């Protein structure tokens, strides 16, 4: 088969479409004929040599994919060869074939096209695990989503609205904010021109839940933006890794700060998240209340171009890689 390999850590040009050995499924795994994968910011870090995969995971980039089951490993039940699925991966999506633990498979929901389904597993599991399973966002609460125009952000807007929350987002341009409004965002804030804390407090009194991709640079301001009993969930470090936290402010609000990734979780935790997503979120996707937002589809062999697109920051939603053009 062919897969994207990294010649050496560096810029997008180090990505090459190379012939490599076919993977084989072990016990409890399935082999997929990959239809598409998606580009995530973690892939950009791994390409630069800063985010190696977990021990035992594929060295190939790609944290999610869609495709058709080609082979079942020993002991796999509930799935059949030929099933169209999408999958959460620890690596291996940028390839014509991928091996996936059966517990990380999801059926392609409703009327979603197979290619578009490749952009669902990572955002769905990330948003659902953090905003719903951990922070327990409920109807009537205020959800603030930083980076509302990205893959995570566009998904979180829809999930928040489907659950009956008031959704506020930050983004860096008028057109991206307008696109967020069209997805259902109630309050849009241009972080380049406005103070999100000031605007949020004025319009809503503050957030009950904040989904943050920035990390250190937003830490103290995020705490300021929380309401009483608010929950700050940090899923990214685009703004750095070390910040200062006012414990007094946190205690005064009875607030909590939680930080979590998805890739390095044990298999049983990932399977539990996938199962909850399938039970509670997938019906919303099947009925169209939550949709995959695809900004651009690029041939997988041209993954370098897809990385450039994501790094430029102009795309709205997900960048997908189609295995066959």
Q: What is the pLDDT of residues 215-234, one digit of tens each?
A: 889 999 999 999 999 999 99
Strand stretches in 132-286, DSSP E: 142-145, 166-171, 187-190, 207-212, 226-234, 256-259
Q: Tokens in use for 125? A: 């599991």
User: Residue 61 forms beta bridges with which residues?
Assistant: none
Contact indicator for 173, 198 with CB cutoff of 8 Å: no
What is residue 325's predicted lDDT score, i.e. its pLDDT? 63
Q: Which residues of the chain have pLDDT under 50?
A: none
**In 3D, which of 151, 149, 198 has the Cα closest to residue 173?**
149
**In 3D, which of 86, 131, 134 has the Cα closest to residue 106?**
86
The CA–CA distances, whole Å, from 10 to 49, 185, 237 equal 7, 36, 19
What is residue 232's predicted lDDT score, i.e. its pLDDT? 98
Residue 166: what are its φ and ψ, rounded to 5°? -85, 125
Residue-wise over 186-202: b if at least 16 C-beta within 10 A, else e? bbbbebeeeebbebbbe
For the chain, what is the radius of gyration of the CA atoms? 19
Contact indicator for 186, 142 with CB cutoff of 8 Å: no
- The rounded distance, in Å, linking the Cα atoms of 88 and 80 is 18
What is residue 297's predicted lDDT score, i.e. its pLDDT? 98
- The rounded distance, in Å, linking the Cα atoms of 270 and 38 is 19
What is residue 135's predicted lDDT score, i.e. its pLDDT? 98
What is residue 167's predicted lDDT score, i.e. its pLDDT? 98
Phi-psi region of 55 (alpha: psi -120 to 50; beta: other; left: phi over 0): beta
């Amino acid at each position: 088969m062919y897969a994207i390999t990294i010649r050496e850590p560096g810029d997008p040009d180090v990505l090459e479409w190379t012939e490599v050995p076919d993977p084989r499924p072990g016990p409890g795994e399935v082999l997929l004929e990959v239809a598409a994968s998606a580009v995530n910011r973690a892939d950009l870090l791994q390409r630069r040599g800063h985010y190696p995969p977990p021990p035992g995971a594929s060295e190939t980039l790609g944290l999610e994919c869609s495709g058709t089951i080609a082979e079942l490993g020993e002991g796999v039940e509930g799935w059949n060869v030929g099933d169209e699925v999408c999958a959460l991966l620890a690596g291996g999506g940028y390839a014509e074939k991928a091996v996936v633990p059966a517990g990380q498979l999801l059926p392609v929901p409703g009327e979603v096209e197979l290619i578009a389904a490749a952009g669902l597993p990572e955002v769905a599991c990330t948003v659902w695990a953090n905003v719903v399973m951990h922070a327990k966002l409920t109807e009537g609460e205020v959800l603030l989503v930083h980076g509302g125009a990205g893959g995570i952000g566009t998904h979180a807007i829809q999930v928040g609205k489907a659950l009956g929350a008031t959704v506020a987002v930050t983004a860096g341009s008028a057109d991206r904010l307008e696109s967020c409004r069209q997805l259902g965002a109630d309050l849009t804030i241009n972080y380049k021109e406005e103070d999100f804390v000031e605007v949020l407090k004025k319009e809503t009194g503050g957030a009950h839940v904040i989904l943050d991709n920035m990390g250190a640079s937003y830490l103290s301001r995020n705490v300021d933006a929380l309401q009483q009993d608010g929950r700050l969930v940090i899923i990214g470090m685009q703004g750095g890794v070390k910040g200062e936290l006012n414990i007094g402010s946190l205690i005064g609000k009875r607030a909590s700060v939680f930080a979590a990734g998805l890739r390095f979780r044990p298999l049983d935790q990932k399977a539990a998240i996938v199962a909850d997503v399938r039970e509670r979120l997938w019906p919303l996707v099947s009925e169209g209340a939550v949709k995959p937002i695809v900004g651009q589809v690029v041939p997988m062999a041209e993954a370098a171009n897809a990385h450039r697109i994501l790094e430029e920051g102009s795309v709205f939603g997900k960048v997908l890689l189609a295995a066959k053009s």
